[in-house]
Amino acid sequence: MSPPSSSAPPIFALIDANNFYVSCERVFNPQLEKKPVVVLSNNDGCIVARSQEAKDLGIRMGEPFFRAKHLIQSHGLIWFSSNYTLYGDMSARMMALLGSFAPQQEIYSIDECFLDLAGIQQDAVSYGQTIRRRTRRYLGLPTSVGIGKTKTLAKLANYLAKKRPQYGGVFDWQACEPLIEDYLMAQIDVGEIWGVGRRLRMQLRVMAITTCRDLKYAPTSLIRQRFGVVLERTIAELNGLACLALEDAQTSGEKRKQQIISSKSFGRPITALADLSAAVLSYTARAAEKLRQQDSICSHVVVFIQTNSFSTHQKQYANSITLPVIVASNDTRRLSAVAIMGIEKIYRAGYSYKKAGVILLGLHPAAQQQGNLLMADPYARTSKVMHIMDHLNQKYGANTLSLAGAGLQPHWRTQAAQRTPNYTTAWDEIAPAYANR
């Protein structure tokens, strides 16, 4: 592979795994091939991944599982609770492999990444085929590849690669005549464009902008005035003018998050302040751990709680509160004290709570911590405790060590009735067929 000249304009390839969670399950259970399979969200609530066969049954993304349950009987639908340990590990392997195909890679989500193919001395489409073949052979994961002069075009190309079998899983706009490009764009709904969601799609339809082609040739000044710079940028990108750069590990400096959220729905509704506090404590601990992982401190803590907003027959209540952390910190004990103050302020008795969460805001590198003359940090001398806690939890599994208030086996814990084993990360759960080799 020849090194790219740094001046060459980028050629973006977007590679993503098809039906990623389902594909991960299939790697370790080939019986699932050609069958309708879905993977569920936390608490086995929503459907978050579907095999092609499940899509063909009319199951929609994000659909509540109970509405599709009848398909188990009638069509042999197979379902799994999500196993994020497995998906996370498979993702890491896939990203490492894909990263070897180009000098620059941006990992965009758990199942997709951008590569810059500028400087690759090979036809882009056949290179894309090579990427697909190897990912399939080495990891068992099916992928699609979209290629274009901008990220937005690469995304759209990926859509075509996935939806139209005649392209064999790889689509490259640059291999297209301009007339063909417009012809294809005229067939794709504007809502498929990266950055155009449900709301925007509706508003655009009112303006008679219904296809990708319509948006590509829409008057930019009007769009900017009505919808802002984001959509204006999208139009430029559709026209081949790159506005978004590839953000690899170097350019982003292993970007630190600007906010950290930990929240979950409860397996069953809870009413007591004590239970709610315990939940908030455990979420705070999780968030603080993430905070320390990126070596940051935070200055504000948000706590929020809500009842089941889907329920029509019960009183609704939702509230949140933002509290300052007097001395910015990443110490679980300090942040917990703040979070507990918050939950006590917004808690109202007499409601059935379904969800709670904690958001850490005002994140800064821990090195920037400022002393406070009036208030010495009482935990400063014992910050090693956090270090030891993180270390043990990493080595022996989450919650090996936690604060006493979080509870050991709380009844509100998340439910996951059909979680598969951690085939790739736990010695005692390795798939038998692999273990015997």
List the one residue out of 437, 398, 387, 392 whose CA is nearest residue 85.
398
- Which residue's entry shows tokens 């507990």? 340
| Candidate residues 199, 384, 395, 437; the one interacting with DNA per rule CB under 7 A | 199
Hey, what amino acid is at 261? I
List the one residue out of 338, 232, 222, 219 whose CA is nearest residue 277.
338
Asked if residue 311 binds DNA (CB under 7 A), the reply is yes
Asked if residue 310 binds DNA (CB under 7 A), the reply is yes
| Candidate residues 198, 381, 395, 437; the one interacting with DNA per rule CB under 7 A | 198
**Is the Cβ of residue 334 or residue 355 nearer to DNA in the bound state?**
355
| Secondary structure (DSSP) of 275-296 | HHHHHHHHHHHHHHHHHHHTTE
> Which x/- pattern, by CB under 7 A, does the window 255-274 give for DNA?
x-xxxxxxxxx---------
**Is the Cβ of residue 98 or residue 120 nearer to DNA in the bound state?**
98
Provide, rounded to whole angstroms, the least separation between the CB of residue 362 and DNA.
7
> Which x/- pattern, by CB under 7 A, does the window 10-49 give for DNA?
------x------------------------xxx-xx-x-
**3-state DSSP assignment of residue 365:** strand
The answer to whether the CB of 380 falls within 8 A of the CB of 256 is no
Residues 214-243 touching DNA, rule: CB under 7 A, are 228-230
Provide, rounded to whole angstroms, the least separation between the CB of residue 223 and DNA.
11
**Is the Cβ of residue 120 or residue 161 nearer to DNA in the bound state?**
161
Provide, rounded to whole angstroms, the least separation between the CB of residue 183 and DNA.
23
- Measured CA to CA, the distance from residue 229 to residue 221 in angstroms comes to 10
Provide, rounded to whole angstroms, the least separation between the CB of residue 228 and DNA.
4
Asked if residue 88 binds DNA (CB under 7 A), the reply is no
The answer to whether the CB of 354 falls within 8 A of the CB of 390 is no
> Which x/- pattern, by CB under 7 A, does the window 91-130 give for DNA?
-----------------xxxxx------------------
Provide, rounded to whole angstroms, the least separation between the CB of residue 123 and DNA.
26
Binding footprint of DNA, residue count (CB under 7 A): 49
List the one residue out of 223, 164, 235, 161 whose CA is nearest residue 194.
235
Residues 162-181 touching DNA, rule: CB under 7 A, are none
**Is the Cβ of residue 264 or residue 333 nearer to DNA in the bound state?**
264
b/e 90-101 (16+ beta carbons within 10 angstroms → b): bbeebbeebbeb
Q: Which two tokens stand for residue 166?
A: 């005649």
Residues 398-427 touching DNA, rule: CB under 7 A, are 414
b/e 52-63 (16+ beta carbons within 10 angstroms → b): ebbeeeebeeee
Provide, rounded to whole angstroms, the least separation between the CB of residue 236 and DNA.
13
Q: Which two tokens stand for residue 363?
A: 């994140």
327: left (phi over 0), alpha (psi -120 to 50) or beta: beta
Residues 341-400 touching DNA, rule: CB under 7 A, are 354-355, 357
The answer to whether the CB of 17 falls within 8 A of the CB of 39 is no
Residues near DNA (CB under 7 A)? 16, 41-43, 45-46, 48, 62, 64, 66, 108-112, 155, 193-201, 228-230, 255, 257-265, 283, 290, 300, 308, 310-311, 322, 354-355, 357, 414
